[in-house]
Structure 1
């Protein structure tokens, strides 16, 4: 009897700029930015559905500021790239597309089903560093330079709402899962504050809370929307749990001094746990019942024999000329990992947790450590009906440093990894074997083209395909089922 195996069908290679390639929320279209042009393709046939050439003429304010603040002689190439698109995004209903050119202070909004409709937002003297959609798909957040303010533009009213003195532009803000509230970390009179804005009431300020932090590092809102994790900058390992009403619930600091502070945190999808990682080799798991540490996960250069270790075969890509599937080597007995030893006394040490990410149902936790750049650690977490015993389940070792690792947004046991090579790496705990049943499997998949190095990967929202990005090109891979004879 034949077995069903998973394979991948790759598309042709297409151009892109600044890795701006994204599936629409319904996975029907793929949006691409190429310099100052937007291209929308159908995801099933890759035929072009819409295209726009944008006029990114600099605003008057951007022209004045550009002429007075840049004292160096600019090259022709630099002037040309200033008009390229820097940010793109789909609205939640896939009806609108956002395209921003921050160096020119311009944001364009376009409609998929209307050739004439076109909105243009021009930043003033405050400048523009970032633009993105609000969850309702009818408001746009524009972050100004120098942390002056966040401007919320309404496509319905054509008016703007201003939020003053955001602490950051790349972090320190979040929408509640239902889009009802917008939380923003701000800095007023040299003190960290938390502002909660009500999206259902024209983004009026609902509450303004003083934070206990001395120098805020960032914040993260729980999936339930009831609690906010706030932590200090890298100089101090301290995390606070604050309610939406602004009440301090708990403060967490490890018993042993970890040296530097927190690098990243990740909420369990159900909001029951919070994983906290710093600049050391430990991950602290906090429980939402007591906000105390219920488990400390540690990694070491030695992998125990009870853990499944996978190793990328040496030279597999060259031997197959990029046109092959190659299984990882499954290592036996105790294995060692090459850890880079860094001095904590040096500024910005290359150590600690750089990625914490739960899978879709919270049964697996992916971790990557900067001082073990070629390794991906996967921890198993019990369900609510199982005994609480989180443990290291699998380790994937590669020949080159891992650049990105992404969980499938739909399937719990599906993971893709890229290392800047001509292939992509997959791990699954859903592999079906006729004799053994469901088993774990890791494979290397070559991209069938020359001079293509996968530097970034993005899943489609349906979990059936993903985008592979090189520096200036991209392709897509879609899962297909094949019958493999025994």
Structure 2
């Protein structure tokens, strides 16, 4: 592994372009574009207010910056420094924004969810969509970018609006059997839409594009229900992480459960390889110099965080559910056992690896090209797992640097490691 120098950023805003050539970071009002290969600055843009959100367009040419405190969005081009766009909703404000797949339209949401505005960068036309729910969780584009599905809340009932993105016209609208839809997601094969209710209701619904209810699933009632849902890249499985510390796998043929993965505090599974992080500390110092994984035989007891009943959003339930890019593995993490990362084999339907860390795991991300995990715990180390084994690597920088977030490069050969105020790039070896 090779690590770059540290560069400044703010608000954890640092993203690779879709083509992987550039990395964009923000430091207050400044937007800095660097070449990933040389780390040389390609462009610098100055916004009118501190940036709170950035997103690349699919063409990797335009960068959108959201300044929600000012109710404004600015768009920049890395190919034409003289071109820029400013979107201002006026008194309505802007609380969210995102690109359309064609990289020529932008959607913004007004304050109090009054409307979604569609802005065209080519024709400079404006369209409005009334009664929307959340712009990021209750709206999704099909994988080919041809269709947009959006949840509309009207008369205390949820509706799904289907739009044709080629002409931006409403194609179909149908009601759904949710009480308060929390999220909507297309299947990776663009065949069906999955919706699920707020945590107060355990309710998973599957709809076809023409509004036909293909199936539904509910594991229990009268308790906190769904927390995380994830499609497998093959669209064959739907993984549901619940507040009862279980992950249930639904199949795409009958939309019924095929397996239930429990997350007990004492792990006895003989099929799993248990890796425990062991730290080595410097003498006369509390600073951690390095650590390594050591294999241990089950059974093993995990550290459990007891939720405080006086605080909102207690750390319980399955907070991470992610499939590997080949759909072979599923990684999970229980929020009340944050030190442990569970890796499940979808072929044998069993636990294959359990990674126990010295500190709570903050972020878990799959390599977009192969079954390889990257993890961070808010310390100066980067953790990785693959079917061949796992490693712990100290980030070799001069100043104190704690990794709080990570993002993979689209080719899976580079990682961006985000600290509180700085970031660096980690280039992986070919092997």
Is this a same-fold pair by TM over 0.5?
Answer: yes
For the residues of structure 2 that align with 1:87 and 1:30, how far apart are their CA atoms? Answer: 15
Instruction: State the partner residue of 2:328.
Output: 363
Instruction: State the partner residue of 2:354.
Output: 395
For the residues of structure 2 that align with 1:305 and 1:258, how far apart are their CA atoms? Answer: 34
For the residues of structure 2 that align with 1:40 and 1:18, how far apart are their CA atoms? Answer: 16
* 2:31 aligned with 1:38: yes
Gaps of 5+ in 2: none
Structure with more contact order per residue of length (Cα contacts < 8 Å, sep ≥ 6)? 1
Aligned mate of 1:426, from 359, 384, 397? 384
* 2:64 aligned with 1:98: yes
TM alignment of 1:127-166, pairs within 5 A:
127-166=93-132
Kept in 2, the 8 Å contact 1:427–1:443? The answer is yes
Instruction: State the partner residue of 2:169.
Output: 204
Quote the offset at 1:452 in angstroms. Answer: 0.8
Deviations 1:215-243 (A, max 9, x none): 22222211111211112211121211111
* 2:65 aligned with 1:116: no
* 2:214 aligned with 1:240: no
TM-score (norm 1): 0.84
Gaps of 5+ in 1: 1-7, 57-82, 383-388, 430-439
TM alignment of 1:250-329, pairs within 5 A:
250-254=215-219, 256-257=220-221, 259-303=223-267, 304-315=269-280, 326-329=291-294
- Counterpart secondary structure, 1:178: coil
TM alignment of 1:335-484, pairs within 5 A:
335-342=300-307, 348-382=313-347, 389-412=348-371, 414-429=372-387, 440-449=388-397, 450-480=399-429
TM-score (norm 2): 0.94
For the residues of structure 1 that align with 2:401 and 2:343, how far apart are their CA atoms? Answer: 28
For the residues of structure 1 that align with 2:310 and 2:62, how far apart are their CA atoms? Answer: 49
- Counterpart secondary structure, 1:376: strand
Distance change (3 Å), C-alpha of 1:278 and 1:321:
closer
Aligned residues: 428
RMSD: 2.1
* 2:26 aligned with 1:14: no
Instruction: State the partner residue of 1:176.
Output: 142
For the residues of structure 2 that align with 1:165 and 1:43, how far apart are their CA atoms? Answer: 41
Deviations 1:158-193 (A, max 9, x none): 111211111224411100000011111110111111
Quote the offset at 1:315 in angstroms. Answer: 2.9
Quote the offset at 1:339 in angstroms. Answer: 2.5
Deviations 1:118-144 (A, max 9, x none): 111111221101222111111111111
Kept in 1, the 8 Å contact 2:97–2:135? The answer is no
Distance change (3 Å), C-alpha of 1:330 and 1:320:
farther
Kept in 2, the 8 Å contact 1:322–1:423? The answer is no
Kept in 2, the 8 Å contact 1:14–1:474? The answer is yes
Point out the structure with max Rg over C-alpha. Answer: 1
Deviations 1:248-281 (A, max 9, x none): 1112112x55721111111111111111111012
Deviations 1:423-473 (A, max 9, x none): 1111122xxxxxxxxxx2111110112311111011111110111111111
